[in-house]
Structure 1
């Protein structure tokens, strides 16, 4: 079940919510997969490190980017210190889902109480991270989503009509097949409590691509974990190229049916 929290969601997009000191110090790891994101990573790292969250740590999961993203990440580790940032280097590109699973497993093993999925392309607003953490702590939600499709959520004006309709259809498609009430089940800006990630068993997640987002939320709902949705503005990337391809799209179409069939066995 999902709902729109009231209160700080009405703040300007660039103004982070101020949390109580003990909440702000909560061990939170942002897991950020990268592949050829050299033009985006420095700005994202700066934005996250500037947040009033002393408990935040950034873990970059780089799939041997040819453009040197992994090396740039290491430079920022030296700048901010290993207690604030780390890099998980992987041998090659295996898909967004695999990268997230590896990073989230590492974050939980390192002691994070909450783990946030966040894209490196600038589409997810860093200023919303404190609010999402505050909602999670205030409500006890195991999963807090940065949602494009609850009241107050918006999309980049750069998105054309076709892309908007496709995104809406994908959410309706997966939600209908799986019988969920989550408004943004395909979204990738998701905050997880560590016990939910342990219960889901990341090592057993099948999805390699974007359908990872759907599979993870569905597994959480099936296990009875509470979900909240916080409205965000979703921006289009301005640097680099999307990683969406035909194989990823096909997996996204078939995965909801696989999950539904598996749940009925």
Structure 2
């Protein structure tokens, strides 16, 4: 594992009603990457996740909490967390879910791929070696279909553009810019992947094992799916997210 060549690493875990899952995922992240820091970005969870996060941070100086006023979508949570991390001088920013679907033990191989020259590393379910555990058939069909549609509409050389387990160089995020990102749900992942490739940066996919959550409810909804379908369709026609196109034009 070549983590030492990358500088300071921040693992960002957004939360909303993840009280059951947070202690274990925090423990696993800290064990997998002892030198990394963990930022819990909580959207004012009514189940007390934020208060639990504060207690975890009080016991570990490598754990931090970003309290947000309410549930504003995955994209808004990650953008706020990325800005916090870059302001604090972190060189690498990791995205991962709190529900255990992303395995912290696989973080070292994602960081290794970043060390080999990538600007964005995606933990991919749909490349050779990727696996799915305990996910219902309809969710697999939806994910595969969404990624095929995304590749066809956007011409992305990526098989899992919707994946939420990924690692960015802070310099890459600074280059692509976050100010004009409007995507809120899982379409946020497609948005940043598109921006990364259109800026000529290198994207690498690494196979992972995705495990369906054991506790709590999925945040996937018709609204999230509709946003992704609409935005990808618009981007496919126009070629770029609209504000990025205007900014570069």
Quick one: distance in 1 between partners of 2:127 and 2:34?
26
Mapped pair 1:141 → 2:123: no
Q: Determine the structure 2 residue equivalent to 1:33.
A: 14
Q: 1:256 to 1:52 in 2, by over 3 A?
A: closer
Give CA deviations for 1:111-156 in whole Å, capped at 9, x if unaligned: 111100000010001001111111111x210001111011110001
Which TM-score applies when normalising by structure 1? Answer: 0.87
Quick one: distance in 1 between partners of 2:20 and 2:128?
32
Mapped pair 1:65 → 2:36: no
Which TM-score applies when normalising by structure 2? Answer: 0.93
CA RMSD of aligned residues (A): 1.4
SS in 2 for 1:155: strand
* Contact 1:53 1:130 (8 Å CA) reproduced: no
Mapped pair 1:78 → 2:58: yes
- How big is the shift at 1:251? 0.1
The correspondence for 1:192, drawn from 156, 168, 180, is: 168
The correspondence for 2:224, drawn from 210, 231, 248, is: 248
Q: 1:66 to 1:52 in 2, by over 3 A?
A: closer
Quick one: distance in 1 between partners of 2:50 and 2:236?
37
The correspondence for 1:48, drawn from 29, 34, 41, is: 29
Give CA deviations for 1:232-254 in whole Å, capped at 9, x if unaligned: 00000010001112211110111
- How big is the shift at 1:203? 2.1
Q: Determine the structure 2 residue equivalent to 1:237.
A: 213
- How big is the shift at 1:159? 1.8
* Contact 1:210 1:252 (8 Å CA) reproduced: yes
Mapped pair 1:159 → 2:135: yes
Q: Determine the structure 2 residue equivalent to 1:107.
A: 85
Quick one: distance in 2 between partners of 1:121 and 1:69?
12
Quick one: distance in 2 between partners of 1:21 and 1:229?
18
Q: Determine the structure 2 residue equivalent to 1:96.
A: 74
Structure 2 unaligned regions, length at least 5: none
- How big is the shift at 1:163? 1.8
Mapped pair 1:22 → 2:4: yes
* Contact 1:59 1:86 (8 Å CA) reproduced: yes
The correspondence for 2:153, drawn from 146, 171, 177, is: 177
Aligned length: 241
Give CA deviations for 1:143-187 in whole Å, capped at 9, x if unaligned: 01111011110001x222222111100100111100011011110
Give CA deviations for 1:54-86 in whole Å, capped at 9, x if unaligned: 1x11011100000000011010101111xx111
SS in 2 for 1:123: coil
SS in 2 for 1:144: strand
- How big is the shift at 1:104? 1.0
Q: 1:174 to 1:53 in 2, by over 3 A?
A: same
Quick one: distance in 1 between partners of 2:29 and 2:166?
15
Give CA deviations for 1:193-236 in whole Å, capped at 9, x if unaligned: 01110112112101011100000000000000001111100000
Structure 1 unaligned regions, length at least 5: 1-18
